[in-house]
Structure 1
Amino acid sequence: MNALVIGGTRFIGRHTVEELRSHDYDVTVFNRGNHENPFETVEHVTGDRTDPEALEDAAQRIDPDVVVDCVAYHPDEVRHAVDAFADANAYVVISSGAAYGIDAIPKREDETRLHECTDEQATDDSWETYGPRKAAIDRVVAAAGEAGVNAMSVRPPVVYGPHDYTERFGYWVDRVANHDRVVVPGDGDGLRHMVFVEDVASALVRVAEHGDSGESYNVGDRRLPILEEWVGLVADALDTEVEVVTANARELAAADLAPEDFPLHLDYPHVLSTAKLAALGWEATPIEDALDRTVRAFRESERTGRENGPERATEERVLGILDTV
C-alpha cells in the first residue's frame, strides 16, 4: 500500500509518517521542502499544496492508496485535493475542534453546530477565521463523500508531544522543570481537551482504513485534567515537586497580566466526545505514558516555550503580591 502525506516533516505529519510506516505503508512526503526531511528512507516530492496542478501531478506520479493531508487551512485547498485524489482508497484531512461554532459539553460530530464561513473568511489567514475555515473544510469533505469520494476528516483539540514547534504545552514543562512555584490563572480549573500527537497520527490511519466516507471524527485524550492537574502531572513526569499558586484576574492585573496571557487557559471548557472514533477501534495513550515521552523529548530539545506566556520576572511579581495577601 502506498501512502502520501501532504506536509509530513514537522509535528503531526512527522508522527503520521511514522505511524503509516509501522502499518507497512510505503510513504511519500509532499511539501515545499522548507523544512528538513527527518526520514532517510522516505521519498520526498517537492511541490506547493496550494497549487492544484502540483497536487494532480503528485497524484499521477505516486498513485497513492491513502492520502493524509496535514497542512490544509482553506476550503479551496481541500476541494482541489479531493478532486486530485478522488481515486484513492482514502483521503483524510486534519480539521480541528475549533470548527465547532457553539460552546457545548461535550462537542459531538453529528450534533454540535459548526461555524459558518463567509467567502471572505475562507481565504483569510488570521487566527480569528481559523475555526470557520476548518468548518468549511469539513463541509467540503462531507460533500465529497456524497459525490462518491472516500474523504474524511479528523478534528483534534490542542496537540502536544515530541517535535511540538508551537511550544504552548512546552511553556508549562519549562516552568515546572526550572521553578518550584508556578502561577496558574483563575482557580486552576480551566478545562481544555488536549490530545497526544501520536494519538492524532493513529487516528488518521485508523480513519483512513476504517472510517466512513464523508464523516468527521473527533480525537482527544481519554482523560481530561484541568490546568492545575496538568502542572502536577508534568511534575510527576519530571520526577520533581512544584507548588501551584492560583491567581484570579484581579490579582494578575496588579502585575499587568490577564488569564488569557497564559497558554492553554480557557474560561469555558472545551471538551470533545471521542466515542465515534473509539467505535472504529481507536484507543488513546495513557496520559502518564504520553507525558513521559513528551517531557523527555522537550528536555532533549533546545525549546523553552517561554515566549508563549508571561516572563518569569512578571510571574514573580504575582507571587510577591499573593505572598503579601
Structure 2
Amino acid sequence: MEIKSIKSQTFIAFSFIILFFVASASAQALRQNFYQNVCPNVESLVRSAVQKKFQQTFVTAPATLRLFFHDCFVRGCDASVLIASGNNQAEKDHPDDISLAGDGFDTVIKAKAAVDSDPKCRNKVSCADILALATRDVVALAGGPSYKVELGRRDGRISTIASVQHNLPRPDFSLDQLNNMFARHGLTQPDMIALSGAHTIGFSHCSKFSKRIYNFNPKSRIDPTLNRNYVFQLRQMCPLRVDSRIAINMDPTTPQTFDNAYYKNLQQGRGLFVSDQVLFSDQRSRGTVNLFASNNTAFIKAFVIAITKLGRVGVKTGRQGEIRIDCTRPN
C-alpha cells in the first residue's frame, strides 16, 4: 500500500511539472510584435475604437479592465468571458460575472469590428488579444501607464457557468485567501496588491459591502476597520432599504483617474471591500500599501509588471483554440 501511495504521489507531482512547463511554453510564445506581418496597425485600430468608446462614457475604463481580469482568472486569458449562451450557462451568466458592465463587452466588440474593417487584418486577430490591448488603452486613457502588450493569444471555445465557481476573489476575502488565489496563477503578493490598485477607477454595488456598514457581526454593526466618516457617506449613498444595485465609486477621492489614491484611501480606512482594507490592516501587506501610497511611480511600475503577468495566465497559443470570427460565439 505504501509503495502504491508513493507511486501515486510521484505521478501527481510529475503531472503538475508537465502542466507547469506547458503553461510556461504557452506564455513564452507571446510577443509584442506578433501581428507585425499580418496586421501591422492592429494597435492603432484598437486604440482608435477604444478612444471613441471612452469619449462616450468613462465606465468604458473600469468595465474593460475588470472584464480582462475576470476572463484571465477563470479559464485563462482566452476571451471565454465574452461568449454568450442561449440557455444562460456561459461564464458571463454566473452571479460573479452578471455585474460586469456592458460597456466592457461593447468596447471589445467595437474594437474587433475596427480591426476586421481592414481587409489585411480580417479574422487574423484574436478577441483575447483585442481585450488585452483594449485594457492597456483604457488604463492609459484614464491617466495610467501606456505599457507594451504581449500578443499571440488564441480564443477559447468553451465557456461554462460552472468554471467561474471559486475562481474569482470575493469582497470578504482575507489576505491569505487573496494570496492563495493569486498564487495559483503565478502572481505574488506584491502583484496582487498592485492589481488591486485597479480599484482606483472601479465601482461596486451596495449589496457587495452593505454588511460592513449595517450589520458586520454580532459584536459590531460597523466594520471597525472602516473610517467612521466614510461609513456615514456610504450610508447616505446606500440606504438600507434602497436598491442594492446602486453603483458606488471604489475610490471616493479621484474616481476617474488611474493613480495611487486607492492606497492613500486604505491608509485612512476608506477601502470599500474587506478585501481592500485588509491590505492595510494586515501587517504583512501594509508595507507595500504604504510604498504605493507614497510613490506613484513605484505603483505604476509594479502594476505594469503584474498586469503583464496576468496577461500570460492560461493562454492558448499556436494551434490551441481559434481566432473567433464573432467574439460572442465559437466558430
> Structures share a fold, TM > 0.5?
no
Higher strand share: 1
TM-score, structure 2 length as denominator? 0.26
TM-score, structure 1 length as denominator? 0.27
Higher relative contact order, chain-length normalized (CA < 8 Å, sep 6+): 2
